[in-house]
């Protein structure tokens, strides 16, 4: 198949683009490089630099069979401060993409949705039937797109699949997480191990969880990517299918930090901090539907392996050895 990957210079998009190429698909990446990196686009992909609104029609003109849509703004605190950026950059751009798909008669789309559409869940693990009640503008923008996809599938006969990611982490070889402003827990903790930060702030220790810190479901980016390829095959004309993607196991912030200590050998100092606005206490996926309907099963559910792959991506072992050698030399 020929697949257009929007946001293919970003973390998850680049891993999916690499897996698509390995599976024998042809891939064009469309990315405006606002947060992505040109060198993250896998060799073998065609690359178009630009915004969806300006470039989607051209990118779709050349016999594209399907779109995988990753390009989005995805920083929750930024969405709280500047919601208009999320309505325009996420909802507006996706509506333009759907319009361009209609004009070019491209009839399949796999969309990066998020667990953030569920807000504070009533039931854990969270099934897809759980009410959609996003607790921040980022989640609201993704929920709005999910609703638009349902309508487009119904009215225009496209096959749409929304994949609701829980906490994606880890790396796939040279493809990993490189945000200019990092907000995610595992990369921040690894920055401490690399000597780039002094400590990690733990946002809230008074949640109703076993150790008081928030519990999340961490999924390996490679397992997540593989679900996209299954979703591509599983899309059906006129249907909008929705799947949660997680391992079904929760780890607290403290547990994640402990695993990072074990993997890196660094003490990782922590400092207590206030709760971060918009953080639900527990987010754990039921992925029973993806397992049953797509035949998906995560191959790398171990948090230790997820962290170890992220650590290897950041050159952790070499850099930690260099830091150790410098410290040794100074002593
Ligand atoms: N977190 C933390 N310190 C940090 C970054 C994150 O305590 O420096 C917590 C955050 O409050 C949440 C969990 O780690 O409970 C996972 O946050 P992340 O931003 O990685 O993912 P999210 O669940 O918000 O998508």
Q: What is the tens place of the pLDDT at every residue in 13-23?
A: 999 999 999 99
Instruction: Indicate if the alpha-carbon torsion angle 80, 116, 212, 195 is positive or negative.
Output: negative
Mean pLDDT in residue range 74-94: 95
Distance between Cα 9 and ligand 1 center (Å): 23
Q: Quick check: 206 pLDDT over 50? A: yes
Mean pLDDT in residue range 74-82: 90
Write down the pLDDT at residue 8.
98
Mean pLDDT in residue range 297-302: 97
Write down the pLDDT at residue 331.
33
Q: Quick check: 138 pLDDT over 60? A: yes
Omega before 313 within 30 of 0, i.e. cis: no
| 80 or 169, higher pLDDT | 169
Q: Quick check: 196 pLDDT over 50? A: yes
Smallest CA-to-CA distance from 224 within 148, 139, 281, 309 is with 309
DSSP state of 232: H
Q: Is 6 in the pocket of ligand 1 (CB under 6 A)?
A: no
The set of residues, in sequence order, having a beta carbon less than 8 Å from that of 290 and lying 6+ positions away, is 227, 230, 243, 244, 245, 296
Write down the pLDDT at residue 295.
98
Q: For a pocket test of ligand 1, which of 182, 184, 245 has the largest count of ligand atoms closer than 8 A to its C-beta?
A: 184
Per mean pLDDT, which range of 45-59, 152-166, 172-186 is the poorest? Answer: 172-186
Instruction: Indicate if the alpha-carbon torsion angle 83, 85, 90, 94 is positive or negative.
Output: positive
Q: What are phi and psi of 251, to 5 degrees?
A: -125, 140
From CA 179, how far away is CA 181, in angstroms rounded?
Answer: 5
Q: Is 183 in the pocket of ligand 1 (CB under 6 A)?
A: yes
Token pair listed for 206: 């008074």
Band of the pLDDT at 278, cuts 50, 70, 90? confident
Token pair listed for 18: 């690499």
Q: Is 279 in the pocket of ligand 1 (CB under 6 A)?
A: yes
Atom 18 (ligand 1) nearest CA: 184
Q: What are phi and psi of 30, to 5 degrees?
A: -115, 120
The set of residues, in sequence order, having a beta carbon less than 8 Å from that of 240 and lying 6+ positions away, is 146, 149, 150, 152, 153, 154, 160, 161, 162
Q: Quick check: 47 pLDDT over 60? A: yes
* DSSP structure string for 108-132: EEEEEEEGGGG-S-SSSSBPTTS--
**Collapsing DSSP states into helix, strand and coil, what is residue 302?**
coil
Which atom of ligand 1 lies at the shortest distance from residue 186's CA?
Answer: 20
The rounded percent of the chain whose pLDDT value lies above 90 is 90
Distance between Cα 185 and ligand 1 center (Å): 5
From CA 87, how far away is CA 91, in angstroms rounded?
Answer: 5
Q: For a pocket test of ligand 1, which of 276, 277, 284 has the largest count of ligand atoms closer than 8 A to its C-beta?
A: 276
- Residues with a catalytic annotation lie at 138
Band of the pLDDT at 315, cuts 50, 70, 90? confident
Write down the pLDDT at residue 327.
54
Average pLDDT in the chain: 95
Residue whose tokens read 């070499």: 318
pTM: 0.95
Atom 15 (ligand 1) nearest CA: 214
Write down the pLDDT at residue 320.
62
Q: Quick check: 330 pLDDT over 50? A: no
Band of the pLDDT at 277, cuts 50, 70, 90? confident
Residue whose tokens read 């029973």: 288
pLDDT single digits (tens) 251-274: 999 999 999 999 999 999 999 999
Q: Is 253 in the pocket of ligand 1 (CB under 6 A)?
A: yes
Write down the pLDDT at residue 329.
40
From CA 17, how far away is CA 22, in angstroms rounded?
Answer: 9
Q: Which region, left, alpha or beta, applies to residue 304 given φ > 0 means left and ψ of -120 to 50 means alpha?
A: alpha
From CA 25, how far away is CA 95, in angstroms rounded?
Answer: 25
Q: Is 201 in the pocket of ligand 1 (CB under 6 A)?
A: yes
The packing angle between helices 303-313 and 316-330, to 10°, is 70
Q: Quick check: 200 pLDDT over 60? A: yes
DSSP state of 285: B
């Amino acid at each position: 198949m020929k697949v257009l990957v929007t946001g293919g210079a970003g973390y998850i998009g680049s891993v999916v683009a690499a897996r698509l190429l390995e599976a024998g698909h042809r891939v064009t990446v469309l990315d405006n490089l606002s947060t992505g990196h040109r060198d993250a686009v896998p060799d073998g992909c065609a690359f178009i630099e630009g915004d969806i609104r300006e470039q989607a029609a051209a990118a779709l003109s050349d016999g594209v069979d399907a779109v995988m849509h990753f390009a989005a703004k995805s920083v929750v605190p930024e969405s709280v401060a500047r919601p208009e950026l999320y309505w325009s950059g996420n909802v507006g751009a996706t509506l333009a993409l759907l319009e361009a798909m209609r004009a070019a008669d491209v009839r399949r789309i796999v969309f990066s949705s998020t667990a953030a559409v569920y807000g504070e869940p009533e039931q854990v693990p969270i099934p897809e039937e759980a009410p959609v009640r996003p607790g921040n503008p980022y989640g609201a923008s993704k929920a709005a797109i999910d609703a638009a996809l349902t309508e487009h599938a119904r009215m225009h006969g496209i096959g749409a699949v929304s994949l609701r990611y829980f906490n994606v982490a880890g790396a796939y070889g040279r493809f990993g997480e490189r945000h200019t402003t990092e907000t995610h827990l595992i990369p921040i903790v690894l920055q401490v191990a690399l000597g780039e930060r002094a400590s990690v702030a733990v946002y809230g220790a008074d949640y109703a969880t076993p150790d008081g810190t928030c519990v999340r479901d961490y999924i390996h980016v490679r397992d997540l990517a593989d679900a996209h390829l299954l979703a591509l095959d599983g899309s059906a004309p006129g249907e909008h299918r929705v799947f949660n993607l997680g391992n079904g196991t929760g780890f607290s912030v403290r547990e994640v930090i402990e695993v990072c200590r074990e993997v890196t050998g660094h003490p990782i100092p922590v400092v207590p901090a206030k709760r971060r606005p918009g953080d639900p206490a527990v987010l754990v996926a039921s992925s029973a539907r993806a397992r049953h309907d797509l035949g998906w099963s995560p191959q790398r559910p171990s948090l230790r392996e997820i962290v170890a792959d992220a650590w290897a991506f950041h050159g952790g072992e070499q850099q930690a050895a260099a830091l150790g050698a410098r410290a040794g030399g100074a002593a």
